[in-house]
Amino acid sequence: MNDLTRMLETEFPFLQGGMGNVSHVDLAVSVSEAGGLGTLGAGTLSPSALEKMVKEVRFRTNKPFSINVPLSVHPDVQKILSIAVQHHVPVVSLSAGNPSPYIKMLKKENITVMCVVSNPSQALKAEKAGADVIIAEGFEAAGINANDELTTFTLIPQIASAVQVPVVAAGGIGDGRGFLAALSLGAQGVQLGTRLVATEDAKVHSNYKQAICESDAHSTVITGRPYKKIRRLLKTAYAKQLLEWENNEMSAEEYNQKTNESYHIKGAIEGNLTEGHVNAGQVSSLIEDIPTVSELFKRMMNEARTVSNQLSF
Ligand SMILES: Cc1cc2nc3c(=O)[nH]c(=O)nc-3n(C[C@H](O)[C@H](O)[C@H](O)COP(=O)(O)O)c2cc1C
């Protein structure tokens, strides 16, 4: 147990990242039931779809869970947050935007607030505004990334030294070694994205899971740099096409259109890797199997203990 698990009331310090189109009911319930913090990713959900999912999660588990709200992505943040309040969701994570205007209101309702940041000054601002937990995400991570391009290995110690509240490391973590390293750097827990996509419990297409398992060190790419909207994708035929369009000076509007949710659904849910994109982090190169979430968490805990006992210096 540490401050983080006491605060979140979870068995393990493992958090499911909010993942648009992926962090839905089945995966969130599996993560919470396995002892982590399951998450509903609200970024791609209408308020009514989210409300339905909250009720379903509540019906299927009495363990704590959270809602992730990517602030600059969702068109109706207030409505999404009012659902969290109305249904007494214990934890909310705020990402991709300035969380300050929302923190006080959520805390007044006894909701634990976690803020996803990508540099130390954002972490300090979020802590000052009342955040209970800082999730620091490095550039290894899947999906939309910060333009800072700071790596998890350098980011976590800076933020752990800068703030008093518990820090969670995100980006590049997929096994017990990464978990242990994150703890050594000053984090109290880890947030997983890509590793959870390649589990039995994730309701994504098997082509996506398989492609992660077959990845090597060169299998992810960054798109969107010309538009300052960077996104780490698996290097599929569609991602290569996006890069080619970028090189041929596709406009920002076209980039936004070609990476909108319908293309993500085509890739991640329908498994069409030539006509749609899939998010994946650099950790893909370490992933070789598709366990259940419960197997994964047990394995990560065992591996961290074993590695910790074997360390010598
Ligand atoms: C399919 C997918 C969708 C994602 N969507 C979101 C999102 O809506 N909001 C968010 O804050 N992060 C999002 N992320 C990032 C994850 O929450 C998590 O922080 C990240 O994947 C951690 O890095 P890793 O992939 O190396 O584990 C997404 C990641 C993936 C794989």
Ligand 1 near 18 CB (within 6 A): yes
| CA 248 / ligand 1 centre spacing (Å) | 28
Give pLDDT, residue 238: 98
Running DSSP on this structure, what letter comes out for residue 281? -
Q: Are 51 and 75 members of one domain?
A: yes
Q: Are 185 and 239 members of one domain?
A: no
SS3 assignment, position 257:
helix
Give pLDDT, residue 25: 98
Task: Locate the ligand 1 atom nearest the alpha carbon of residue 135 and give its number.
Answer: 19
Ligand 1 near 141 CB (within 6 A): yes
Q: How many domains does the chain have?
A: 2
In a domain, 284, yes or no: no
Distance CA 44, CA 57 (A): 17
- The domain of 187 spans 3-203+290-310
Q: What is the pLDDT of residues 42-84, one digit of tens each?
A: 999 999 999 999 999 999 999 999 999 999 999 999 999 999 9
Nearest residue CA, atom 7 of ligand 1? 19
Please report, rounded to a whole number, the percentage of residues in the chain having pLDDT higher than 90: 99
Ligand 1 near 171 CB (within 6 A): yes
List the one residue out of 32, 25, 26 whose CA is nearest residue 9.
32
Find the mean pLDDT for residues 241-249.
95
Contacts of 161-164 spanning 24+ positions with Cβ under 8 A: 161/186, 162/120, 162/123, 162/124, 163/123, 163/124, 163/127, 163/134, 164/127
Q: Are 173 and 265 members of one domain?
A: no
Q: Domain of 119: which CATH number? A: 3.20.20.70
Task: Locate the ligand 1 atom nearest the alpha carbon of residue 280 and give its number.
Answer: 31
Arithmetic mean of pLDDT over the chain: 97
Give the CA count within 13 Å in the CB-facing half-sphere of 171: 25
| CA 209 / ligand 1 centre spacing (Å) | 15
Above 90 in pLDDT, residue 39? yes
Above 90 in pLDDT, residue 303? yes
Q: What is the pLDDT of residues 117-157, one digit of tens each?
A: 999 999 999 999 999 999 999 999 999 999 999 999 999 99
Quick one: CA torsion of 26, 261, 259, 214, rounded to 10 degrees? Answer: 20
In a domain, 7, yes or no: yes
Contacts of 108-115 spanning 24+ positions with Cβ under 8 A: 109/85, 111/84, 111/85, 112/7, 112/8, 114/15, 114/66, 114/168
In a domain, 258, yes or no: yes
| CA 161 / ligand 1 centre spacing (Å) | 24
Distance CA 188, CA 282 (A): 22
In a domain, 212, yes or no: no
Q: Are 119 and 43 members of one domain?
A: yes
Above 90 in pLDDT, residue 1? no
Q: Are 164 and 255 members of one domain?
A: no
In a domain, 213, yes or no: no
pTM beyond 0.95: the answer is yes
Nearest residue CA, atom 11 of ligand 1? 95
In a domain, 208, yes or no: no
| CA 216 / ligand 1 centre spacing (Å) | 19
Region of 22 on the Ramachandran plot (φ > 0 left; ψ -120 to 50 alpha; else beta): alpha
Above 90 in pLDDT, residue 272? yes
Find the mean pLDDT for residues 192-218.
98
Task: Locate the ligand 1 atom nearest the alpha carbon of residue 140 and give its number.
Answer: 26
In a domain, 248, yes or no: yes
In a domain, 285, yes or no: no
| CA 25 / ligand 1 centre spacing (Å) | 16
